[in-house]
Structure formats: structure tokens, C-alpha cells
Amino acid sequence: MPKPNEDTLYKIPFLNLLFAISSIGLLLVTIWMVIDDYSRGWKGYQRRFQALEAAKTGAALKSAEESVNPDELKGLREQLAAAQAAAEGRQADLKAAQDKLAAVATAAYKDDLTYRTLKSTYDARKFEFEEARHAGSSAAALEKETRDLETRMEEYRVKNLEHDQAKAQATAALRALTAQEDETRKKIADLTAGIDRLEKRLETVAPGGAMKVAIEMLNAPLLDFVAPTRRIQQVVVEKVPLDINFARIPRADRCTTCHLAADRTGFEEDAQPFRTHSKQNLFVGASSPHPIDRFGCTPCHRGRDRAVDFVYATHSPDGAEQREEWDRTYGWERDHYWDHPMLPKSRIEAGCLKCHQGVVTVPEAPRLNRGLQIVDRYGCYGCHKMTGFNDRPKVAPRLTRITSKAGTDWIGRWIKDPKAFRPSTRMPRFFGLPNNQGSGDAEREDAEILGIVAYLSDKAEKFPTPPLPGRGDARRGAALVATVGCMGCHAIEKDEAAPDALAARAKGGDDPVVWERRFGPDLSRIGSKARPEWIFQWIQNPKAYNPETRMPRLRLTTQEALDITAYLSGLKDDSSSEERVAPPRPQPQARDAALLAFLSQRLPPAEAQAKLAAMSDRERDVLLGQRTISRYGCFGCHLIPGFEKTPPIGTDLSEEGSKPADLLLFGFADIEHTAPAWFYQKLKSPRSFDADHDAAFYDRLRMPQFGFTDEQADAVTLVLQGLTKEKVPLESVRRLNAREDAVEAGRRIVHDYNCQGCHILDGRGGAIRQAIASHLMSEGRSEDEASSLAPAFAPPIIDGEGDKVQPDWLFGFLKAPSPIRPWLSVRMPSFDFSDRELNALVTHFAAKDSRTYPFQTIDTAAPAGANLQAAIKLMSPDYFSCWNCHQNGARKPEGPPEGWAPDLTLARQRLNPDWIGRWIENPQKLMPGAKMPTYYDPADPKGSAPPDILGGDPQRQIEVLRDYIFTLGQRRGGTAGAQP
């Protein structure tokens, strides 16, 4: 550097000072940069996890050490010392044996080396020789050389074999001398195997000494770019790609960078991020259906796969409390730059739906299933297109003949506020909601309601309801309704549920009646709604009035139908209906104004006026009704004349879960601006987004108020969150095999016809037991008694039905049920299934129990002679006393009715013979809680079998019983399913 001239413009010492200061500054910010990098969150987590793992391994080591019996170890060590001492005496022998082995090994190595050298030379010569011979040139010399090498090779090969033998002998000799010592050593090693393993593990997890220094060097600031041991961990998920709109890219899930124990056991109790995944058997685990190396984390959890920072990974808090905690701990804020934020813990089931589609229930996702159930029951898909619900039938009854069923004044009041009449109804409320509370709105809505009524009665066709053929007895009717099976699907809640439970429900609490019994409407006030003539027709043959109904026939006699009609039409509301909801009153002015508004949308005002003036009062009502039905989309749920082909009015929800919050209209609603918060608000208060908006009535929000409870709204929100646009490759989607497909198809029908209202199936259902118990209580039984007796009077549990019965019998039975348990009042209804449905159901049961369908061999031989005698004896009161409970053809059982069991003479047509055998052997195994006594102790069948029959052999006894039962009723029996 040249010495600066004195004439420089700036003072050099000052510049030097500036240079020095700025250089120091640069050094400082560089250090700061390194520190900033070194202190990134995930590195800290890895350090903490290392300490945690070391502590855990140390603790495990300690407990392993403690679990070793010190006396045993000491004894072995003493033995070892003794053996070593004993060996001292044979030092010379030992030395000789070792020398021998060493000498043999040396010789073997030397000769083996020679052999291998010869072999490779031989291979090379042979190649040359073959080439020369093929080329036709003189190959004699090469041939000779090859043959010589061959001879020498063979010589050494033999030598090697001899060496091997010698070595084996020398080793054996040496072993014989040290045998005792070796054995003791091995015992010690076995005893301390666990400790050794843990010690090695601890060495890896928390190395000591030089290794520790080396590893710390690798992880040191600034050096850690070379080969750090603390590094970002990632699982690349190719098969469930990330859709970044223009392309689909593999996910790189870096969650395990911090969640280091997610895929390891032993950290179940530790705090996050170091906790083992809570469902190892279902997720993450290598043998689970969703192993981490195939599915990673974000396909289910969502979130930003590549992020290693708490906030950027878009963790989502579960509730306000956690949100505040995260804000304090992590400076959490919502990351608006990621469209699929992580699902909070309570909403994780939403992630299932994108792969698990086309199934009635998603395994192990109870809340999601609840949501799907609600969507299905409430018919959201009537107005909104939703994946998985495309071909579902309309949820509400057809209105083509409504005037034959109910009076127009009732219809008007019902439309105005359905829940005022029937609090449990699924029919939502369209009128009188917060966005129609302005001046004139109430009058207009009255006019609209009356318009709908006018339209429906104008278009309704006549359904003949002849006068009742006689008088019924309401008391008998009440008993019939309570016992014949109506209560599997219906409830009469004003009689059944406690008033405070009903009051709580009205305020958004839980429903006091079980879900299955909400399948049909609550009958509490049915007499105020339906005309007796209609009820009489309907209960005898519902499909005559409404071909789409799922209500079955119960094969009622005319008198029974009359009794029930008498009872049901007596179920009227005592309080004045005016008190609950004021009936809509004619509002000609409001009606004309609304009609004019509709007409003026397309026509100039003058023409609209003229058109209106030309219409009669009735015509105006009907037209407003038509416009209102079309605006509110009533035809989404009901079949309405004139709207048979009208497309649904709601937003397509098939990809709703992928909709960014920006595309949702929050209006002035004071809620968090996230899609789930919006869904929830929409479900709870659908019109609230209109608040403070100034909109003409036909531009206001139209979604009706369903009155969902918090729990219901939450479950449906979960479904909406799950309906995403993500396209999962087929190879990653859960695909059903033929058997599972059959199970699902049947399950659909089971759900559609509410079989679980009466039967327990898949571990749930049997709702009718609730009603049977309350009927028993009304007959004077105590509550405990009633609930313990109810199962005896309830329809059977049908889990394992496919295993139990013959498929062709089942087909016939479902088509035309005939009583199996004639003493029960409850009847298997006639559903009038189509053949397609019947086959699906029978296949469903067969597939569920892995039985063959439709044909199978029934191979039993009628017992004779001693066997026949043995069977009859076993069934006699001296032994199993079968006829005490089982019906025998027309003969009633001898015991009390609570214990009665099916007619054994039907067994031949009905049951699978192998099932009978297994059933007699251990009924509890096939149906836990079965009433059938267990005659053979499963722990000791041989000991518990009657010893004096067939030599006390339980298998033979069961066989003859089964074969005998198969001969019962042989002469009487007709063919299955032939009876009406």
C-alpha cells in the first residue's frame, strides 16, 4: 500500500478509524448471523431430545441393572473364576492345542492362496486356449499349459480339504479344554444381554469422551454445514402429492425434525414435540395401515410440509386458550400464506375424508361419522352437491298429495315454524329469521307462506282416503304402538322424555331420544297434523301414499290399524296452537308488492303491473308460492309438482374444504376469518352474514335455520373441512375389495332402513329397547327390572347373522318375514325390498362373516340308533332341558316367557349346521350376553360334558345334537321363503 499523500482530500487517520469500526461491526453482525442460525428452533429441540433420550436410556439401563439378580451374577462370576483357575493347571495342553491350531491355519492360508492364484491363471489360459482353438491357429502349447494348471489346481484343492479337516479337529481339541469357561461366559452374557444392549444404545445416544468432542465439533456453529448429526429430518411422500395449483409435487414432510419421537415407542407420556404418535397402530407405525414412510404427516394433518418453524408449519390452536398460550410461547399468528393450515387436534378427522370416500362410516373417526350421519339425515345434499352423496334420495316426504294428509292451516303454521310444532323435526325454519326482521318483512313472509300453501294445494293430486271402516280402541292402539315395533324409528317424546331434558334440548342441549329413534318423526302431536283416514291408510301400506318412503308395513290387521289410528289421532296438542305460532294471515298488499318485485326483475314496471292486475287472488297466491318455493329450494328435500327436474339451489360443496377464507362472504359477522369458523357460523346461524347488509328481500341469504346443536354443527363442519379438491392417486386411496364392497353396499341399506333402530348390528343400535323398557315400566315394572328385561322382548342382535343362517333362508325371510319368535309382540316389518336390495343385504351378512354366497352345501346325516337316543337324552330335562326355553313347532316352551327362544323345528331351513355346533359349544363366544346357557365349560369341555353319554366326548355329543336338531320339523317344513 503506497503511503498516502499528505494532500489527500479526507483525513486518513479518520478513515482508518472508520474502517476499523466498520470492520469490527461486520465481524459482530457475522457472529450474530451465526448465532441466529445456530439458535433456530428445531436445533434446540434436537438438543433437548438428545438429553431426553439419554436420560430415558440411562433410566432404562438402571432399571435393567436392578432387575438382574446380583447373587446369580456373582455366582456365575465365581464359577468363571473357578473355571479359569482350573484351566491354569492345564496350561501346557492349552498352549499345545493353540499352537497346533495356529500351525494348521497358517498352512491352510498358504495353500489356499496358491490355489486361488492357480485358479485365476488357469481361467486366463483357458480363455486364450479356447480363443486360439476357435480361430484355428496352433493351440497345442496353450492346451498343454492349461492341462498342467488343471492338474496342479486339483492337487491344491485336495490339500485345502485336508486342511479344513485338520482345522476342525484342532478347534475341537481346543474347545474341549476351555468348554466350562466358555459356557459360564455365555451364561453371564445371556444374563446381562439387556444391559449390554442399553449400554450400546447409550453410547450412541450420549457418547462420551473423544466421540462426544467429535460430535460436538460436527454440530458446532459455523462448522455444522459439513456433516452435522443434528439435521433436518424429512419423509418424502410421493404418493399423496401436494397440489400447488399448477403442478403436483411430492411432499417433503419435515415434521419429524422436531417431533422426533412420533414414530418411536417409549415416549407416550412425554410433552410435545417429543411424544409418540397417539395412535401408533393406526398411523405412523410400520405395520399400521398408514406407515409414515408412505403417508408422511401432512396428507392427514395438513400444514406446510417443508417448514421447520412452529408458526410457518401452520400449527393451528385448538381453542382460544391454546391460542393464547401459543401466542405467549411461540409468538403464534395465523399464516395467511398457506391455504391448508394444520388441522387442530380436535378436527383431525377431517383429514380422513379425501381418501376414505364411498363408505358409510370411516373407521375410527367417530366425530366425522357423526357429521356424515347428520349430512345424510338432514339431507344437506338436497341443495348442495356433495362428494359421496350424489345419488342419495330426497330426505323429506313427497308433497304431491299433501292435502290428503294434512289441512292447509296446519301446513301454513308448520312452514312458518316447524320446530314450534315438533321440536325434534329436521325440517328447518325458513321464515322469521334475523335477516327478515325489517318493516314489512313479516307481512311479506306471511304472504309467501300462504303462497306456498296455495301452490301445494293447487298442484296436489287427490289420494283416496275412504272413511274409516270401524271404530278403534285407543288404549289397545297405544299398546300396539309401544310394542309392535313403531318405536324402533319413532318416538313419542312428550310421554317418554323428562320435561327438563326436553327444555334443555330446546336450548341447544343433547337430544333425550336416541338417534335411531329419530329416524321417523316424533309422533307426540301427530293427531293435530294428519287426518285419521290418512293415518289408517298410511300405517297399513305407506308405499301406496308415498312410493319412496322407507316406512315398512307391519302387516297390521284392519282392527289393529283402526286401534292405532284411534290412538294416534288422539295424540293432539292440548295447548292452543296459536300460542306456539301465529298462523300466517293473508297479506294482499305485501303479496302484490313481492310479486311486483319479482315480475319487475324482467319486465318494465308498467307491464308487470298489468300482468299482476290480470291475475285473480288465487293465481297471485299460487305464483308467489311458486316463486318462493323456487327461491328457497324446497324441492331439494321434497318432491314437489312442477319442480321435479329443477336443479338444487345451494353452492356445490364438493371442494368446500379447499376454499380459501377470502372466497367466503363474512359480511360484518364478528367471527374469526377462517373457513371452519365460517362453516360453523353458517350452520348455527345461516343468515347472520346478512347482518347490516342492505339487500332486497330476494337477494338475502336463503339457507334455513336447522337448529343444530353445537355438537352437530361441529361435526358437519368437520365434513365440510374434509371435502377438499385434493386428488389422491388411486394407489394411496383406501380401495375396497369385493368382500368389503359387498359389506359397504349392505351397510348403506342397513342405514337407509334404520335396521339398527331395532337390531344391534356392528355393535350399535337396538334403540327400541329404550321404548320397550319404558313400556314395561308403564306396565308397572321397576326401572331396573324393565331395563334388564327389555333385551328379552327386543328384536335379536344380528351381528354374525351371515355365519348363523343359510343365505337362501335369509333372502326369503327379508322378502316376506315370518315369525321366528312367536311370543314376541314386536314384529319384523315387511320392507318390500327390491331384489337388488335383498341380494345386497344377504351378501352383506355373508361377506361380513366370510361365508360363501349364494350357494352352500348343507351336509348332515340324520342320527340313528344309539346316536339318536343320545341326542334325545341330551335334550331332555335330565340334561340340557332344551324345551324349557325353545319353542318346538306349535308347542310353547315350558319356562317363563322372558326366557323363550326360537323354534328349533325351523333350524333345518334356517341355520348353518356348523354354526349350531359352535353355538352349543359356546354361545357366549358367538354372541356375548346371549341367554343360551353354556353347557360346556370352554376351559374344560371334556370335564363338563355329561360323562354318561357317548363316552363323555363333547365333540360327538355336539355333533349328534346338531344332527338331531336338523331332523326336527322335517315333515312339517315347507321351502324357505315360500310363505307370505
**Residue numbers at the binding site for another protein (CB under 8 A):** 1-2, 4-5, 7-10, 12, 15, 18-19, 22-23, 25-26, 29-30, 32-33, 36, 244-246, 312, 337-339, 660, 662-663
- CA distances 565 to 495, 542, 551, Å, are 18, 14, 16
Question: Residue 664: which H helix or E strand, with range?
Answer: none
Q: Which is nearer to another protein, 25 or 938 (CB)?
A: 25
Q: Which is nearer to another protein, 652 or 662 (CB)?
A: 662
Question: What residues contact 979, with CB distance under 8 A and at least 6 apart?
Answer: 816, 818
**CA-CA distance, 932 to 797, in Å (whole number)?**
13
Q: How far is the CB of 599 from another protein (least distance, A)?
A: 28
Q: Which is nearer to another protein, 335 or 563 (CB)?
A: 335
Q: Classify residue 464 by burial, with Cβ atoms within 10 Å: 0-12, 13-18, 19+.
A: exposed
- Cell reading at 382: 338436497
Q: Which is nearer to another protein, 338 or 880 (CB)?
A: 338
Q: Which is nearer to another protein, 309 or 894 (CB)?
A: 309
Q: Which is nearer to another protein, 85 or 244 (CB)?
A: 244
Q: How far is the CB of 629 from another protein (least distance, A)?
A: 32
**CA-CA distance, 346 to 335, in Å (whole number)?**
20
- Cell reading at 450: 300462504
- Cell reading at 721: 373441512
Q: Which residues pair with 284 in a beta bridge?
A: 291
**CA-CA distance, 283 to 355, in Å (whole number)?**
14
Q: Which is nearer to another protein, 226 or 244 (CB)?
A: 244
Q: Which is nearer to another protein, 304 or 384 (CB)?
A: 304
Q: Which is nearer to another protein, 340 or 827 (CB)?
A: 340
**CA-CA distance, 659 to 720, in Å (whole number)?**
10
Q: Are 65 and 131 in contact (CB under 8 A)?
A: no
Q: How far is the CB of 727 from another protein (least distance, A)?
A: 15
Q: How far is the CB of 295 from another protein (least distance, A)?
A: 21
Q: Classify residue 628 by burial, with Cβ atoms within 10 Å: 0-12, 13-18, 19+.
A: buried
Q: Are 292 and 284 in contact (CB under 8 A)?
A: yes
Q: How far is the CB of 41 from another protein (least distance, A)?
A: 13
Q: How far is the CB of 405 from another protein (least distance, A)?
A: 47
Q: Which is nearer to another protein, 690 or 963 (CB)?
A: 690
Query: Given the DSSP bridges, would you call strands 290-291 and 760-761 parallel, antiparallel or unpaired?
Result: unpaired
Q: Are 485 and 385 in contact (CB under 8 A)?
A: no
Q: How far is the CB of 339 from another protein (least distance, A)?
A: 6
**CA-CA distance, 350 to 732, in Å (whole number)?**
17
Question: Residue 149: which H helix or E strand, with range?
Answer: helix 140-191
CA angle 956, 960, 964 (to 5 degrees): 170
- Cell reading at 830: 315387511
Q: Which is nearer to another protein, 225 or 246 (CB)?
A: 246
Strand segments, DSSP code E, in 673-799 are: 760-761, 764-765
Residue 667 — left, alpha, or beta (φ > 0 → left; ψ -120 to 50 → alpha)?
Answer: left
Q: How far is the CB of 7 from another protein (least distance, A)?
A: 8
Residue 251 is given by DSSP the state E
Q: How far is the CB of 357 from another protein (least distance, A)?
A: 23
Q: Are 403 and 460 in contact (CB under 8 A)?
A: yes
Q: How far is the CB of 244 from another protein (least distance, A)?
A: 4
Q: How far is the CB of 13 from another protein (least distance, A)?
A: 11
**CA-CA distance, 797 to 787, in Å (whole number)?**
16
Q: Which is nearer to another protein, 663 or 696 (CB)?
A: 663
Q: How far is the CB of 32 from another protein (least distance, A)?
A: 7
**CA-CA distance, 641 to 455, in Å (whole number)?**
9
- CA distances 313 to 254, 549, 937, Å, are 9, 50, 58
Q: How far is the CB of 33 from another protein (least distance, A)?
A: 6
- Cell reading at 691: 347482518
Residue 705 is given by DSSP the state B
Q: Which is nearer to another protein, 123 or 655 (CB)?
A: 655
